[in-house]
Amino acid sequence: MSSLVKCPHCGLRPREEFTIRGEVPTPRPAAGADESVWFDHVYLRDNPRGQHREYWHHSGGCRRWLVLDRNTVTHETGDVVDASTLKSEGRA
């Protein structure tokens, strides 16, 4: 799903309407966490060949940040969810 994205709020929209940030990294560390934990969060990426979770912003539509489960080889997309819902699951 790299041509069209099914925004959970707006429906099927073209890639042109989105701003992509890249991989969902490790969760943002707690303020007091070690520099190395922060380094990991800010710089290191899984970058898998296969299923990948990533941030897309529907900047030309509802302006919500979404998390896509997308395959980096086939470009097929599984779930697309509003990113705010991940935090409650401790995943952001």
Partner 1 sequence: MRDFPLNNVSPFATMPDGQAHGAIHIAPVRTGFVFHVLGQATGTIDQTRQQQLQKMMDAIAPDLGGELRVLSPGQWFWVGENDVSQGRFGEIAGQLPGEFALSDQTHGRVRLRVTGARVCDVLAKGVMIDLDEGIFGVGQSAMTQIGHIGAMVTRLDRDSFEITVLRSFADSLWHELHHMAAEFNGPHS
Partner 2 sequence: MTSFRIDGGTLIDRDDVREFTFNGERLRGFGGDTVASALLANGRQLVGRSFKYHRPRGILTAGAAEPNALLTIGRDGRRDPNTRATMAELFDGLEARSQNCWPNVDFDIGAMNGLLGPLLGAGFYYKTFMWPAAFWEKVYEPLIRKAAGLGRASYDPDPGSYEKCWAHCDVLVIGAGPAGLAAALTAGRAGARVIIADEGAQLGGGMLAEGGMIGNKPADAVLADMVGELHALPNVEVKKRTTVFGAYDDQVFAAVEQVQKHLSDAAINPDRAMERLWRIVAKQVILATGAEERPIVFGGNDRPGVMTAGAMRTYLNAFGVAPGKQVALFANNNQAYQTAMDLEARGIEVAAIIDPRKCPDIDYGGKARLIAGAMVRDTAGRKAIKSIAVRHDDGRDEMIAVDALAVSGGYSPIVHLACHRGARPVWSDEHVGFMPPENCDGMVPAGAVAGKAGIASCFVAGATAAVSVLNALGLNAAPAGLPDTQTADDIAQGTVAIWSVPSSKGKAFVDYQNDVTAGDINLAMREGYDHVELAKRYTTNGMATDQGKTSNVNAIGILAQNKGVSPGAIGTTTFRPFYTPVSFGALVGASKGFEFQPVRKSPLHGWAERNGAKFVETGLWYRSSWFPKDGETFWRDSVDREVMNVRENVGICDVSTLGKIEIFGADAAEFLNRVYCNAFLKLPVGKARYGIMLREDGLVYDDGTTSCLAENHYFMTTTTALAAGVLTHLEFCAQVLWPDLDVRLASATDQWAQMAIAGPRARDVLAKIIDDDISNDAFPFLAARDVSMFGGRLTGRLFRISFSGELAYEIAVPAGYGESVADAIMVAGKEFDIAPYGTEALGVMRIEKGHVTHAEINGTVTPADLGMGRMVSAKKDDFIGRVMNMREGLVDPMRPALVGIKPKSLADKFATGSHILKIGDEVSLANDQGYVTSMCYSPNLGHAIGLALVKGGPERYGEEVVIWNGLAGTSITGILCNPAFVDPENEKLHA
Partner 3 sequence: MRYSALSLLGNTFSKNKNWKPAWRNPDPKPRYDVIIIGGGGHGLATAYYLSKVFGVRNVAVLEKGYLGSGNIGRNTTIIRSNYLLEGNNPFYEFSMKLWEGLEQDFNFNAMVSQRGVINLYHSDAQRDAYTRRGNAMRLHGVDADLLDRDQVREKLPFLDYDNARFPIMGGLMQARGGTVRHDAVAWGFARGADQNGVDIIQNCEVTAIDRDGDQITGVQTTRGAIKCGKLAMAVAGSSSHVARMVDMHLPIESHALQAFVSEGLKPFIDTVVTFGAGHFYVSQSDKGGLVFGGDIEGYNSYAQRGNLACVEHVAEAGMAMIPALSRVRILRSWGGIMDMSMDGSPIMDRTHLSNLYFNGGWCYGGFKATPASGYCFAHLLATGTPHETATAFRMDRFARGYLLDEKGVGAQANLH
Contact between 80 and Zn ion per CB under 5 A: no
Window 1-40: residues binding partner 2 (CB under 8 A): 1-4, 12, 14, 19, 21, 28-29, 31-33, 35, 38-39
If we measure between CA atoms, which residue out of 60, 64, 70 comes closest to residue 83?
64
**Partners of 9 in the β-ladder:** none
Window 19-58: residues binding partner 3 (CB under 8 A): 20-23, 35-36, 39-40, 42-49, 52, 54, 56
4/89 Cα distance (integer angstroms): 27
> What is the helix (H) or strand (E) element at residue 15, kind and residue range?
none
Q: How far is the CB of 84 from partner 2 (least distance, A)?
A: 4
Nearer to partner 3, 49 or 88 (CB): 49
